[in-house]
A and B are shown apart, each in its own frame.
Chain A
Amino acid sequence: MGLTGIQIFKMLPKTNCKECGQPTCLAFAMALAAGKAELAKCPYVSDEAKAVLAEASAPPIRPVQIGNEERGFKIGGETCMFRHEKTFVNKPGFAIYVSDAMADEEIDKKIENFMKYRYERVGVLLKADMFAVKCESGDAGKFKALVSKINEKTDATFTLMSDSKDVLAAGAEVLGDNKPLLYAANKDNWSDMAELAKSAGCPLAVKAETLDELAELTQEIQKAGVKDMVLDTSSRTLRRAFEDQIYIRRLALQKKFRPLGFSTIAFPNEMTDDPFKEAVIASMFVAKYAGIIVLSEAEAHNLFPLTVARLNIYTDPQRPMMMEEGIYEINDPDENSPVLITTNFSLTYFVAGGEIEASKVPSWLLIMDTEGLSVLTAWAAGKFVGDAMGIFIKKSGIADKIKHRKIIIPGYVAVVSGDLEEELGPEWEVMIGPREAAHLPAYLKLWKAD
C-alpha cells in the first residue's frame, strides 16, 4: 500500500473500539500499511476513506485485459524490477504488423504463418498473440474488411492503428467482445479517442513525445473516464526505448506514480530494417518490460526464439518448470531400445532428452515426478531414490514395451542402484549411466540390449 500508517490513521475513527482485533486504531493503521490487515475488518471507516485507501492499494502497474478471456491476454500487473525479486507475471503479447495498404498475398501469408508457427514446450503453447493492423489507406471500409478477415481466419486479438477515431470505431465494431487495443491517443486527438475507448469498452494506447507529456495525457484521459491504458513513449532508438522502459517501471513501482502506472507497447518493427536486429530488439523488450511487442515478420525463425525467450524470462524463479510424469519416446524406440530414467525438472529433461535425440539412438526416457527437482536435489530430498524409482518403473508400463529388463540411471545417483535392484527384483539389471548428459550419446551408441 502506498500510504504510511500515520496517513491511514488520520482516516480512521480514532475510537479504539478494538473490533478490528487490534488494540488501537493506530495499531490497525500500522498493520494495514504493512499489508498485514484488511480494511474490511473495521466496520466504521467512512466510504470516502475507503475510496482513498482502495486507490492507494491498487496495483502500481494497472493490469489490463486485451481481447477477452478466450482470445486475448492480460498485460501489466508487474510488481518487480528484476525477476529474481519475485517473478514477472503477465507475459508480453507478440503482435504481427499488417497494413491495409499491403498486398493481399503478403497479408494472407502472415495470417497463415500466425496460425501455423506454434510450438509446445513444458505444456505451454508458444505462439504470437495479436495482429497490429494499421489503416494507411485512409479508407475505414477497407480497414474494417481487413480486420474482419483476420478476425475470422485466426484466433488473434488486435491492436488497431489509426489517428482517426472513425476508422478505429469501424474496426472495433467488427471485433465485438474481442476488445482491441486502440492505438493511439495523442495530444491532438485524445478527447475523441477517450470517448471511443469509453463507449466501445476498449483499452487505449496513449502516445507522446516525452514522459512528461505522456503523464499529462494519461491524467486527462483518466478524467474523461478511461482506466485501461497502454503507453507509447515514441522512442524508436534502442537506447532511448530501453531507458524509457526502465524509467516507467521505476516511477510506477518505486514512486507509485499513477500517471505512468501502465504497461507499454513497443515497436521493434519501426526501429530497424534488418529482420535479425528486429528480433534481437524484440527480445530486449521481453526482458525489459514491454507489454505488447510489434513484429514485422511472422516466421518460424523469429517466433520460435522469441516465444522461448519469453517463456524463460517469465518462468517463476521460485517454481521450476516441470514435465509430466511418463514415458517419452525419442527417435522412435522399439522393444530392444535402451530405457533411461531421470527427474521431471524441465531443464533436466531438455538437456538429457536433447542429447539422446542428438545421439540418434532410439530410446525410452522415463520421466519421474520429483516435484520439479533436478537429479541431485531430488535424491537429497529422498524423492529420487531406489524404492520410489522402482515403484514408478513398475507402474509406468515400460515393461510391456521392451523385451530386455535393463534400466539406465543417472551417474550422479549411482548409490541408489542397490535399493533399486531390490525393489525391481532379480530379472532387472540396473546400469549406471554417465554423470553428464553430454556423455550420453557416446554411452548410448555402445549400449546393447543383450
Chain B
Amino acid sequence: MTIEIPKRTYKGAIRTITLGAGDKAVTVGGETSLPFYLFEGERPNPPRIAMEIWDMEPEDWPEHALEPFKDVVHDPALWAKKCVEDYGAEMICIQMISTDPNDKDVPADQAADTVLKVLDAINGVPLIVWGTASHEKDTEVLKLICEKTHGKNLAIGPVEEGDHKAIGGSIIAYQHTCISSSPIDINLAKQMNILLGNLGVSDEKILIDPTTGGLGYGIEYSYSVMERLMLAALTQEDERLQFPMINNMAKEVWKSKEAKLTPEEDPLMGDPKRRAITIECVTAMLLLLAGSDLLIMRHPESIKIVKDIINDFMAAN
C-alpha cells in the first residue's frame, strides 16, 4: 500500500519584511505554507528572536530573570551590548517602560536619548522599540524616536487605531517599520492594516502584533487568532493580512505570578528558574506553531532552547 498524503496548495504568501539597515539587517516572513508545514511550502526565513531589554532598571523582576543581566540592568546601552556580545542576540527589543504616564512618566527627549545610546552600543543590530500603549504618550515618545533615528529602519510599536496617524506618519517620514497592533481579533487586525495602507505605510514596512496572551493567561485566544490569520493570508489570499507576525511575549510570561513564585511561597511549584524558563519556552512554542515570525523573549537560556527547536523544525528531513 502506498498512502497518498493529502497536501494543501496555498495561493497566498506572507510578505518578507526587513528590519534594520546594513549588513546586520534581518529579514522575516516569506512563508508560503502554515507554520513549519515545509512538506507543502517554503519558509525562506526562519522565525527570529529579539532579546528584550528595558529602558530602566526593572523593579519587579524575579531574581532568576535578573541574574544574567545583574551587572548591566542599570544602563540600557550596556544591557543591549551584553545581549549582543555575550548572548548573540540577532535583534534587540527595548521596552519603553519608564515612559508610562501612570508610573515614571519619563519625558520623550530623555527616552529618545536612551534609544540613541542603545543603538550606538549594538553596532547595527536591528532594534525594536515598544511603547506603553498609552496613545498620547506613545505619540510623543515614538514620534521623537523616529525622528532621531532617521533611516535606521527600527520596528516601532505598538501602533494602534487611536494613534496610528501620528506615529504612522513619523514612521513613514523617517523610514522605519510599523508594528500594527490590534486586540486579538482578525477583523481588527485587518482593519488596522487597511488604515496604515491608507495612511501611506508601504506594504514592505508592516508587522502584525495580534496581541499576545501568556500561558495560562489567554494564550489560547492569541493562538487561534494567529492560526486564523495565517489561514486567511495563505488560503484566502487576504492581502491585508499577509504580513509577518511579532509577539511581545516576554512581558506577558514574566509578569505572571507563576514565573515568580519562590519555593517558600509555594513549595508545590518547584524550582522557580526552571519553571519560568519552561513557561517562556512553552509559550514561544505555541506562538511559533500558531504562526509567529518574530518573538520577543527575555531569558538567555529560554532563547537558546527555542532557537534549537526552530533549527530542528527547519532541518532537512
* Interface residues in chain A, defined as those with a beta carbon under 8 Å from any beta carbon in chain B: 82-84, 116-119, 121, 211-212, 215-216, 237-240, 242-243, 246-247, 250-251, 254-255, 257, 260, 274, 276-277, 279-281, 283-284, 287-288, 299-302, 304-306, 308-309, 311-313, 315, 317, 347, 350-351, 354, 357-358, 434, 439, 442
List chain A residues, Cβ under 8 A from B305: 274, 276-277, 280
CB nearest neighbor in B for A316: B220
Q: Which chain A residue lies CB-closest to B314?
A: A239
A238 and B270 contacting across the interface, CB-CB below 8 Å: no
Interface residue? B70 (CB, 8 A) = no
* Given A82-B231, A276-B301, A442-B103, residue A309 in contact with residue B215 (CB < 8 A): yes
A83 touches B268 (CB 8 A): no
Interface size, B (range) = 35 or more
Q: Does the CB pair A279–B282 fall under 8 Å?
A: yes
Interface of B is mostly: helix
Q: Which of B38, B102, B216 is close to A350, meaning CB atoms less than 8 Å apart?
A: B216
Alpha-carbon gap, A211 to B4, bound state (A): 10
- The reply on B286 being an interface residue by CB < 8 A is yes
Q: Are A300 and B268 in contact (CB under 8 A)?
A: yes
Residue numbers in A under 8 Å from B45 (CB-CB): none
CA distance A99 to B42 in the complex (A): 41
Q: Which of B1, B255, B270, B306 makes the CB contact (< 8 A) with A300? A: B270
Q: Is B219 an interface residue when CB atoms closer than 8 A count as contact?
A: yes
Which residue of chain B is the closest to A311 with respect to CB atoms? Answer: B216
Q: Are A313 and B268 in contact (CB under 8 A)?
A: no
Query: In the bound complex, do residue A304 and residue B270 qualify as a contact, i.e. CB atoms below 8 Å apart?
Result: yes
User: Interface 1/0s, chain B 176-199, versus A by CB < 8 A?
Assistant: 000000000000000000000000
Task: For the complex, give the distance between the alpha carbons of A238 and B316 in Å.
Answer: 11
| Interface members, chain B 216-244 (any A CB < 8 Å) | 216-221, 223-224, 227-228, 231
| Measured CA separation A284–B289 after assembly (Å) | 8
Contact bitstring B275-301, A, C-beta under 8 A = 1, else 0: 101110110111001000000000001
| Chain B residues with a Cβ under 8 A of chain A | 1-3, 5-6, 36-39, 60, 102-103, 213, 215-221, 223-224, 227-228, 231, 255-258, 260, 268-271, 274-275, 277-279, 281-282, 284-286, 289, 301, 305-306, 308-309, 312-315, 317
**Closest chain B residue, CB of each to CB of A309:** B282
Nearest 7 CB-CB pairs, A to B?
Answer: A300-B270, A301-B274, A238-B312, A301-B275, A84-B224, A312-B220, A283-B282
Complex CA–CA separation, A84 to B291 (angstroms): 15
How far, in whole Å, are A200 and B305 apart by their CA atoms in the complex? 43
The residue in chain B whose Cβ has the minimal distance to the Cβ of A257 is: B3
Contact B281 A276 (CB under 8 A): yes
**Listed A/B pairs (27) with beta-carbon separation below 8 Å:** A82-B231, A83-B223, A84-B224, A117-B270, A119-B268, A212-B1, A239-B313, A239-B314, A239-B317, A240-B317, A250-B6, A260-B3, A280-B278, A280-B282, A280-B309, A283-B286, A287-B286, A299-B271, A300-B268, A301-B270, A301-B278, A305-B279, A306-B282, A308-B216, A312-B219, A312-B286, A317-B224
Say whether B60 contacts A358, CB under 8 Å. Answer: yes
Select from chain A the residue with minimum beta-carbon distance to B225. A84
Contacts of B286 in A (CB 8 A): 283, 287, 309, 312-313
B3 touching A211 by the CB < 8 A rule? yes
From A241, which residue of chain B is reached at the shortest CB distance? B312
| Beta-carbon contact of B270 and A277 below 8 Å | no
Roughly how many angstroms separate A118 CA and B278 CA in the complex, as a whole number? 17
Which residue on chain A has the smallest CB distance to residue B316? A239
Contact B215 A312 (CB under 8 A): yes
Query: Which residue on chain A has the smallest CB distance to residue B312?
Result: A238
**Alpha-carbon distance A287/B2, docked complex (angstroms):** 28
Q: How far is the CB of A301 from chain B (nearest CB, A)?
A: 4
User: B285: which A residues are within 8 A, CB to CB?
Assistant: 280, 283-284, 287
How long is the Cα–Cα vector from A311 to B271 in the complex, in angstroms? 22
Alpha-carbon distance A121/B217, docked complex (angstroms) = 11
Q: Are B220 and A317 in contact (CB under 8 A)?
A: yes
Would you call B216 and A212 a contact (CB within 8 A)? no
**Chain B residues whose C-beta falls within 8 Å of the C-beta of A284 in the assembled complex:** 285, 289
Q: Please name all residues of chain A whose beta carbon is closer than 8 Å to the beta carbon of B275 when the two chains form the complex.
A: 300-301, 304-305
- How far apart are the CA atoms of A117 and B270 in the complex, in Å? 9
Min CB–CB distance B311 → chain A (angstroms): 9
In the complex, are the beta carbons of A357 and B301 less than 8 A apart? no
**Alpha-carbon distance A255/B223, docked complex (angstroms):** 26
Q: Flag if B215 contacts A313 (CB, 8 Å).
A: no
List the A side residues contacting B270 at CB < 8 Å: 117, 299-301, 304
Q: Please state if B220 and A313 are interface contacts (CB–CB under 8 Å).
A: yes
Closest to A348 in B: B218
Once the chains bind, are A276 and B227 in contact (CB under 8 Å)?
no
Supply 16 further A-B pairs (C-beta < 8 A) apart from A277-B308, A306-B282: A82-B224, A82-B227, A239-B317, A251-B3, A276-B277, A276-B278, A277-B305, A279-B281, A284-B285, A299-B271, A300-B268, A304-B258, A305-B282, A308-B216, A309-B282, A350-B218
Please tell me which one of the listed residues A255, A302, A315 contacts residue B278 in the complex, with CB atoms under 8 A apart.
A302
Report the minimum CB–CB distance from B272 to chain A (whole Å): 8
Are the C-beta atoms of A84 and B277 separated by less than 8 Å?
Answer: no
A119 to B267, CA, bound (A): 12
- Given the complex, which residues of B lie within 8 Å of A354, measured CB to CB? 217, 255-257
- B278–A305 contact, CB under 8 A? yes
B289 shortest CB reach to chain A, Å = 5
- The CA of A288 and the CA of B227, in the complex, are separated in Å by 13
Residue in B60, B216, B260, B312 whose CB lies within 8 Å of A237: B312
Smallest distance from the beta carbon of B138 to chain A beta carbons, Å? Answer: 14
A281 to B219, Cβ gap below 8 A? no
Q: Chain A: which residue is nearest B276 at the CB level?
A: A301
Question: Which residue of A117, A276, A313, A315 has the most chain B CB atoms within 10 A of its CB atom?
Answer: A276
Distance in Å from the Cβ of B307 to the closest Cβ of chain A? 11
Q: Is the CB of B313 within 8 A of A242?
A: yes
Contacts of A255 in B (CB 8 A): 6
- Asked whether, in the complex, the Cβ of B282 is within 8 Å of the Cβ of A442, the reply is no
A358 & B281 in contact (Cβ 8 Å cutoff): no
Q: How far is the CA of A423 from the CA of B313 in the complex (A)?
A: 59
Contact B1 A216 (CB under 8 A): yes
* Closest A residue, CB atoms, query B258: A304
User: What B residues does A308 contact at CB under 8 A?
Assistant: 215-216
Tell me the smallest distance from the CB of A358 to a CB of chain B, in Å.
6
Chain B residues whose CB sits within 8 angstroms of the CB of A243 once the complex forms: 39, 317
Could you tell me if B217 and A351 are in contact, using CB atoms closer than 8 angstroms? yes
| Complex contacts, B289 vs chain A, CB 8 Å | 284, 287-288
Q: Are B257 and A357 in contact (CB under 8 A)?
A: yes
List, in ascending order, chain B residues with CB within 8 A of A238's CB: 309, 312-313, 315
Contact check, A239 vs B38: say whether CB atoms are below 8 A apart.
yes
Distance between A177 CB and nearest chain B CB, rounded to angstroms: 31
Are A239 and B282 neighbours in the complex by a CB distance under 8 Å? no
Given contacts A84-B228, A279-B282, A281-B309, contact A212 B217 (CB under 8 A): no
